[in-house]
Amino acid sequence: MRSQLSLILIALLLVACSPPSDKTAQSKSEPFVSTYKPMASKSTLITNATILTGTGEKLDNASILFSNNKIVEIGFDITAPDAVVVIDAKGRWITPGLIDNHSHLGVYSSPGVSSTADGNEMTRPDTANVWAEHSVWPQDAGFNYARAGGVTTMQILPGSGNLIGGRGVVLKNVPATSMMAMKFPGAPHSLKMACGENPKRFYGGKGLSPSTRMGNMAGYRKSWIEATEYKETWDEYNEAISNGAKAKKPSRDLRLETLAEVLRGNIRIHNHCYRADEMLQMIALSKEFGYKIASFHHAIESYKIATELAKEEVCSSMWSDWWGFKLEAYDGIKENIAMVDQAGACAIVHSDSGIGIQHLNQDAAKAMASGNKAGFTISEQQAIRWITSNVAKSLGVFEQTGSLETGKMADIVLWNGNPFSIYTRADQVYIDGALTFDRADPSRQAISDYQLSANSSEVLK
């Protein structure tokens, strides 16, 4: 019975393609468009809950009404419309759906064997031509475990073995048979870059370039110079065509096409970078070529340059307490996230882990506790932004999700207690208003086709 219900959940997601976008100057349509469609949902009113909106508010004994995939109303004394499901959440908490902007689910899938290791195309230092979404395996059981942890949206990134690793993709965390049925409609692509030890260690270890940090920087600059020339060539061609002139169409290059879209502002940079000095160099590089960095990832030393990051409006996506596992991570401190936040910069808690993504709320709690122990005053309504609204802003989807506001996607988690407690679990998870996880209902705990086929007794239930 469980397998049948899981398959029904998946079947509800299959839909016709949405209209193509027109962001790319080289072509009139965007390939691999999202086919995501919200699952069937019921109008729902949750009452008597403590609500963290993700906008800095905490509402006690409040209610939230959502219908037709959107949030309709948040507040007090909301009247239940006809035929609405009413849930009394006394003693429980509500937050926006959690968001992880650094995940490798689907590209480094479970089981973790060579057959499912599809995150690093380490064939040259610049592989901007590859897209992580083309490696995503929707049957990765990690998606289901992350959903049980309250994660409704995530960014899947390539690995960090290259200077430029390729495009990342934003997914809605729903059961599906294809990546495109999970793809967040309208979310911009990202570009994964990496500085520091990883690329120089891999290529230098093979006697190739880059083998030093100066080689890293020379490699970035070479690629951006090529991309600038490529963009100018296409811009001149498009201008000539728009003016009715005849012109020879330039050849497409997938690597340079991605980089050119960064320069046009259509793709957001997410930059693996640990050390403060290197982050500052990467900001200088972005200014040299005229692009914007959305977020540094891991960012162990962001606390050293928090005021500069606030000034540059660059987010830092960080762990609560990882440090010391390699030299460039040696200066990590537990107060990092709190110090970035207190400086007015954009602080984010990320996972980079199939296990960590299941516990983002607890990592945020650890970071909040470390900050308060250090003398800061960080509230729950402030800290929840590290795993909701700030993340959505870094991904360019804050207009759609990341906070509980009227008209936004009904991405909602109902917790059995304070989400910053080690004992708290997600009771129910709604994505676009559809109940996609219910801890009390096995039929709302999807399992992947791979798990079903690997367990014949489960198939027979």
CB atoms within 10 A of CB 373: 11
The per-residue pLDDT for 407 is 98
Q: Please say whether the beta carbons of 94 and 188 come within 8 A.
A: no
Tell me the chain's radius of gyration from C-alpha atoms: 22
Q: Which fold has domain 2-459?
A: TIM Barrel (3.20.20)
The residues near 212 (Cβ < 8 Å, ≥ 6 apart) are 200, 204
**CA distances, 378 to each of 128, 317, 342, 382 (Å):** 39, 18, 9, 6
pTM here is 0.92
**CA distances, 217 to each of 196, 200, 211 (Å):** 10, 11, 11
DSSP-assigned letter for residue 163: S
Series of mean pLDDT values for 10-residue runs along the chain (461 residues): 39 35 51 96 98 98 98 96 96 98 97 93 98 97 97 98 98 97 98 97 96 98 98 98 96 98 98 98 98 98 98 98 96 98 98 98 98 98 98 98 98 98 98 98 90 58 44
CA-closest candidate to residue 197, choices 26, 58, 47, 327: 327
Report the C-alpha gap between 330 and 373 in whole angstroms: 21
CB atoms within 10 A of CB 453: 12
Report the C-alpha gap between 278 and 399 in whole angstroms: 31
- Write phi, then psi, for 251 (nearest 5 degrees): -75, 145
Report the C-alpha gap between 171 and 153 in whole angstroms: 6
CA 240 to chain centre: 38
CA-closest candidate to residue 133, choices 21, 34, 259: 34
∠ CA 141-394-315 to the nearest 5 degrees? 115
CB-count burial class (<10 Å; 0-12, 13-18, 19+) for 87: middle
CA-closest candidate to residue 235, choices 260, 254, 262: 260
